[in-house]
A and B are shown apart, each in its own frame.
Chain A
């Protein structure tokens, strides 16, 4: 079974402060990990995926297989980063099944 855990429902930070949204996963194979974001009144959309190794809007995430984590980080939070963030895991092999965590609401305080 595959499982994604996001321990924080809400994370409040001041503008300019560092951000770290935590994500831990459980999966027996080699997963693919994603971060999806939902801005106010917008649809859920992909922010980044671990295989791309990209920095999107200043966010990065590193897959740590030893700790089974995929935390999302940004050195300096901006007000426009306020949104719901969902960590997601996709299985390897066969059809793609994507499991989401419960989400963390990031609130950036001006």
Chain B
């Protein structure tokens, strides 16, 4: 089966510019996560979707970050305007809630590395 796809892999922007990241989860996975991983730290949850509804966005800086998951499939994470401290790897993950094998396991994409100058 195809894995979680993310693009772009790398992005360099100047502060105050905007950027968007795209994620296509594994087919049939109802839950989609966006994590931010700053160098030397563990992944930090930004937002979590169940189908096309948000179930947790408590750590999303809503003044500059937004995310959507239209039609409950792929998702876009946007940053506008970017700050220097947004430099990080943005990881998308998906998981199944079907109750079958692998339920609860997070499947990650390769990540999108953002550098803000």
Contact = CB atoms under 8 A, between A and B. Distances in A.
B104 A45 contact: no
Nearest to A90: B104
Interface string B42-73: 11110010100001100000000000000000
Interface string A74-110: 0000000000001010100001111111110000000
B42 A43 contact: no
A33 B50 CA distance: 21
Interface of A: 4, 6, 9, 32, 34, 36, 43-46, 49, 86, 88, 90, 95-103
Q: How large is the interface on B (under 10, 10 to 19, 20 to 34, 35 or more residues)?
A: 20 to 34
Overall SS of chain A's interface = strand
B42 A97 contact: no
A-B residue pairs, 10 tightest by C-beta: A100-B42, A44-B108, A102-B42, A95-B55, A100-B43, A43-B108, A46-B105, A43-B110, A103-B42, A101-B42
